[in-house]
Amino acid sequence: MERARWASRTVFVLAAVGSAVGLGNVWRFPYLAGKYGGGVFLVPYLLALFVVGVPVLMMEFAIGQKMQQGAIGSFTKLHPSWGGLGVLALLSSFIIVCYYAVVMAWSLIYFWASFGVPWAQDPQDYFFTHVLQITESVDTIGGINWPICLSLLIVWVLIYFCVWRGVRSVGKVVWLTVPMPVFLLVILLIRAITLPGFLDGWAFYLTPVWSALLDAEVWIAAFSQIFFTLTLGFGVMVAYASHKESRDDVAKDTWVTALINSGISLFAGFVVFGILGYMATSTHTQVAELAASGPGLAFVVFPEALSLMPVPWFFSAVFFLTLLLLGIDSAFSVVEAVTITILDTTQRWTSNTLSLLICGSACLAGVIFTTRAGLYFLDIVDHFVTNYNLIIVGILQAILAGWLYGAEKLRRYINEVSDWRVGRWWNRAIQWSVPVVLATLLVNQFWNELQEPYEGYPAWALMIGWGMVLLPCLVFFTLLCTSRGRIRARGEDASPRTSPGRR
């Protein structure tokens, strides 16, 4: 069967940007910047972008486009026993999309509620008690929270309809879901700069506190944020690129995708901190205090800021619609990637049935995050999967492409098809910087974990997090060993037959 193609190069870039730009840009990036001292976070962030982000994105695009297969097939072509790395990547992104859709489900609830702005009195209470109905600790699960569960179901139905005809329907949907949230962000920015105090917010966002650079945690957060935000190590970019023609440009598409993505993050930072500056002025608090609220930023501090604005319902609705639209193309890119990759290995199902199966199972698996202890689980799983799985996939991919296959071979391919030439720095980045930097961070992170358990959660709950890291890794190692064994057996089988022929 002829491989489906993106309608045009612009559509491919839109889809890649759609996958990259998501809640990571508007929710995760600003809260990390706030948590790690404002402006100073930009230093490791930009460094991570150029040292690791761009080279790895280029590698993933090149692999997918050259091999014309999803992650498993492409990695097998790089080295016959490494297909399991694709499984590790896809399992990790599947786990991520399960909780990511739950954050979208909260956004849907907030969007719906925007028209009455019910959080105006006490946004903290509204989020934790009213929406999440959160239990006092992870030890009490508290049963399923049905409104969130229903909202999750709606989110998954929406995601399914975006992908039901594969890259063809994705190619249409992205024309709406990519530019629209950017447009909405512009509306929010215009609102922000017409409010008193926005400059205080920007000052916090742009003034570096250099001492924060001595904290290893800041560096880990910046590197894992780059992986998360560029959808690296998910197997998504490989799968998306596999639907390009094998002679299409690689280098330019990489730069365009990476720069638009980070541009939108930086832009979202101006929106978020501008509005926080306004809120700090009107409530006589410090921007730093508001910004340090962590993952609650989008659902506690921001709704509060929005409720202080004139015409609060309108700007609240705009903000939560933005979150939803941003999330949806990241979420469906994972469904697409898993579908594409499975279809490459078996023709047993149609792409339609497969997408339905994947959406259905991710929705079911996501139910754990819709319990009243769901936020705790979400926090734990997010911590482990983004800080370990994505980084581990990053290291292994660099070893596979840089050493086992050969960075130079891949670079030559990139240069054959691209207008913009890539220098030898790229080989060094893939072979040395990426694995060394990521491995150092990984070891450091592990060391911290041993020193103090993440956020003081009980051991049984952290075991779930470790399970999400170890199980996919175990699958990878098992597949690696069995396929090595198979290849060796085949080699031994073949040798008695070939040697007489040669003689």
Residue 28 beta carbon to ligand PHE: minimum distance, rounded to whole angstroms: 7
CA dist., res. 34 & res. 204, Å (int): 9
Specify the residue, 268 or 398, whose C-beta has the smaller distance to ligand PHE: 268
Q: Which residues from 258-297 bind ligand PHE, rule CB under 6 A?
A: none
Q: How far is the CB of 22 from ligand PHE (least distance, A)?
A: 2
Q: Residue 420 phi/psi, 5° resolution?
A: -90, 125
CB of 377 to ligand PHE, least distance (A): 16
- Calpha distance 327→268 (Å, rounded): 14
CA atoms of 39 and 212, how far apart (whole Å): 10
Alpha helix (H) residue ranges in 400-433: 407-417, 425-428
State in angstroms the smallest separation of the CB of 139 from ligand PHE: 28
Question: What is the torsional sign of CA 64, 68, 73, 75?
Answer: negative
Smallest separation, CB 333 to ligand PHE (Å): 5
| Burial classification of residue 449, based on how many CB atoms lie within 10 Å of its CB (0-12 exposed, 13-18 middle, 19 or more buried) | middle
Residue nearer to ligand PHE on the CB measure, 36 or 100: 100
| Residues 408, 414 contacting (CB under 8 angstroms) | no
Closest approach of ligand PHE to the CB of residue 275, in Å: 20
Instruction: Give residue 143's region: left, alpha or beta (phi > 0; psi -120 to 50).
Output: left
The two three-digit tokens of residue 113, written as one number: 């509620």
Per CB under 6 A, the segment of 16-24, 129-137, 416-424, 449-457 that binds ligand PHE is 16-24
Give the nearer residue to ligand PHE in terms of CB position, either 197 or 374: 374
Helix (H, G, I), strand (E, B) or coil at 453: coil
Compute the least distance from the CB of residue 4 to ligand PHE, in Å. 20
Shortest reach from residue 26's CB to ligand PHE, in Å: 8
Closest CA to 221 of 501, 498, 441: 441
Supply the DSSP symbol for 144. Answer: B
Specify the residue, 57 or 407, whose C-beta has the smaller distance to ligand PHE: 57
Which of 81/257 has CB closer to ligand PHE?
257
Residue 389 binds to ligand PHE (criterion: CB under 6 A): no
Instruction: Please give the structure tokens belonging to residue 414.
Output: 């990139």
Which of 197, 233 has the CB closer to ligand PHE? 233
Cβ atoms of 223 and 51 closer than 8 Å: no
Determine which residue in the list 92, 281, 333, 397 makes contact with ligand PHE, applying CB under 6 A.
Answer: 333
Q: Write the secondary structure of 42-110 as one string of H (helix), E (strand) and C (coil).
A: HHHHHHHHHHHHHHHHHHHHHHHHHHCCCHHHHHHHHCCCCCHHHHHHHHHHHHHHHHHHHHHHHHHHH
| Helical H segments across 114-215, by residue range | 123-125, 146-163, 167-177, 179-192, 198-206
- Minimum Å gap between C-beta 307 and ligand PHE is 25
- Interface with ligand PHE: number of residues (CB under 6 A): 17
Binding mask 334-363 for ligand PHE (x = CB under 6 A): x-----------------------------
- Minimum gap (Å) between residue 25 Cβ and ligand PHE: 6
Residue 250 token pair = 């690689």
Q: Please state the closest distance from residue 330 (CB atom) to ligand PHE, in A.
A: 4
Give, as ranges, the residues between 199 and 258 that touch ligand PHE (CB under 6 A): 228-229, 231, 234
> Buried (b) or exposed (e) across 418-428, using 16+ Cβ within 10 A?
beeebeeebbe
Query: Is residue 115 within 8 Å of residue 318, measured between CB atoms?
Result: no
Q: Tokens standing for 315?
A: 């700007």
Subset of 425-444 contacting ligand PHE (CB under 6 A)? none
Give the SS3 label for residue 309.
coil
The DSSP letter of residue 499 is: H
Question: Which is nearest to 195 in space by CA: 121, 283, 325?
Answer: 283
Residue 96 vs 317, nearer CB to ligand PHE = 96
**Closest to ligand PHE by CB, 229 or 307:** 229
What phi, psi does 185 have (nearest 5°)? -65, -35
CB of 174 to ligand PHE, least distance (A): 14
The answer to the question of residue 97 lying near ligand PHE (CB under 6 A) is yes
23 binds ligand PHE (CB under 6 A): yes
Which position has the token pair 């949806």?
328
Q: How far apart are CA 225 and CA 469, in angstroms?
A: 17
Stretch that binds ligand PHE, among 41-49, 279-287, 327-335, 373-381 (CB under 6 A): 327-335
| Site residues (CB under 6 A) for ligand PHE, limited to 24-53 | 24-25
Q: Output 236 or 462, the one with its CB closest to ligand PHE.
A: 236
CA 259 – CA 337 distance, rounded (Å): 22
In this chain, which stretch among 127-135, 153-161, 301-309, 330-338 interacts with ligand PHE, using CB under 6 A? Answer: 330-338
Of 15-23, 52-60, 140-148, 353-361, the window that binds ligand PHE (rule: CB under 6 A) is 15-23
Nearest to 81 by CA among 465, 476, 402: 476
CB of 446 to ligand PHE, least distance (A): 23
Give the residue with the Cβ less far from ligand PHE, 182 or 399. 182
- Where does this chain bind ligand PHE (CB under 6 A)? 19-20, 22-25, 96-97, 100, 228-229, 231, 234, 330-331, 333-334
